Structure 1
Amino acid sequence: GGLGVSELRRLKQLEEENQQLKQLVADLSLDKQMLQDVLKKKVLKPVQRRHVAQHLRDAYRISTRRACQLVSLQRSSWYYQP
């Protein structure tokens, strides 16, 4: 009842692909963290963060919630009208 040669080969291939995907996720997570750190250190005013979030929302067709989250903007600031 062991695995055949082709099954072992396929398993090895899937393990390699899984490892590559894990590395990709790790790299993208680090990129995201670095960009968020840069945004925080730049000390952007909420109105500037709102403009960045608006651009992300329009350019990448993401939700307002996600755009605000990416630029560390409170959603109440998004909807605030002076």
Structure 2
Amino acid sequence: MEYQNVTLSLPKETVRRAKHIAIERGTSLSGFLAKLLEEATRREESYRGAKKRHLHMLRESDLGTQGRLSWRRGDLHERRP
């Protein structure tokens, strides 16, 4: 894996707290941030894939109705005494 240096400007208190978390997890601040970014990008890619699949299913499927509706609009709003 190829690495690239990145410069970040973060609030000092955030950096201090993040360093403590990294130490508790037995890693460096750089390693801790890299893992967080990897997880965030993996979740985003997974979400985008799921969204694409579900939109495809909605476009290509009749959702089990076989193109016919078994109800009328009035049935959905029928009032009972």
Higher relative contact order (CA 8 A, sep 6+): 1
Normalised by the length of structure 2, the TM-score is 0.48
Larger Rg computed on CA atoms: 2
Normalised by the length of structure 1, the TM-score is 0.48
